[in-house]
Amino acid sequence: MDTYQKAGHEKVNGINMYYEIYGEGEIPLVLIHGGGSTIQSTFGRLISFLAKSGKVIAVELQAHGRTSDRDQAESFEQDAKDVSTLLNQLKITKANFLGFSNGGTTTLHIAAHHSALVNKIIVISANYQREGLIEGFYNGFGDATIDHMPAPLKTAFLAVNPDQNALQTMFEKDKQRMLDFVDLNDEDISSIKCDTLLMAADSDVIRPEHVVKMSRLITNARLVILPGLHGAMIGENLNPNVSDKTIGITAHLVETFLNQ
């Protein structure tokens, strides 16, 4: 992966929020990782493609990786506030956003409730309502322990934050956020007026019908469904066998959309 130009923390709404900046360009592309993840585990292979054609700012959300926790539950609404506040403190008044999985849900919250900051959004494999997840997603979810967390995600977390207690906290808070998933309503989604690229995989944990529904609700939405599993198109670390060519195709679609 490319070396970042700048990395650091900002005090944001009571947490110490970590970010990395890559590449050059006027309107940055803000990357928002998936649940249980870090910048590297979600975007480690994609950043090098995206940073060739513009400025990229990758963040880590509450309790994830190098960002500290706060004494309150995680929520997509709070994550959206945290990202918006961070950008304000970095003196960025307009940005593009690319969110994957839970990060995509956060991106939808940003577009719906912090629209003045938004130029364009790319939402990859994300739902805005609980019904968008495939049947059986929640089977046994409430009984899950950290032993059920995929090893590559645990390894990636501990590589940047070796605190086992922090890993446990992040797992519990991510799990609870999904158990308590708070739907956006159709009106929230219809309120999104920015240019939007919705992407999903045909064997995703998000139902394709849900993404199609979203594409009908957002006035300026484009829709792409690619073959593969959740995270494969971006080379997320649970998909180690994905080729660079596949990731390059995704990056090309994103860059084309941003440059239109």
Q: What is the pLDDT of residues 142-193, one digit of tens each?
A: 999 999 999 999 999 999 999 999 999 999 999 999 999 999 999 999 999 9
Which H/E stretch holds residue 109? helix 102-113
User: Is the predicted pLDDT of residue 1 greater than 90, yes or no?
Assistant: no
DSSP class per residue in 186-240: HHHHHT--SEEEEEEEEE-SB-HHHHHHHHHHSTTEEEEEEEEETTGGGT-TT-T
Place of tokens 């959740």: 230
Q: How many residues does the chain have?
A: 260
| pLDDT tens column, 230-257 | 999 999 999 999 999 999 999 999 999 9
The residue type of 79 is: D
DSSP 26: S
| pLDDT tens column, 34-59 | 999 999 999 999 999 999 999 999 99
pLDDT band at 2 (very low <50, low <70, confident <90, very high): low
Assess contact for 48 and 41: CB atoms under 8 A.
no
CATH 3.40.50.1820 corresponds to the domain 6-259: yes
pLDDT band at 5 (very low <50, low <70, confident <90, very high): confident
DSSP class per residue in 126-178: --SSGGGBPTTTTTTGGG--GGGS-HHHHHHHHHH---HHHHHHHHHHHHHHH
What's residue 199's pLDDT? 98
DSSP class per residue in 45-107: TTHHHHTTSS-EEEE--TTSTTSPP-SS---HHHHHHHHHHHHHHTT---EEEEEETHHHHHH
CA 22, CA 5: separation in Å to the nearest integer?
5
Which tokens in the block code for residue 152?
Answer: 């590559």
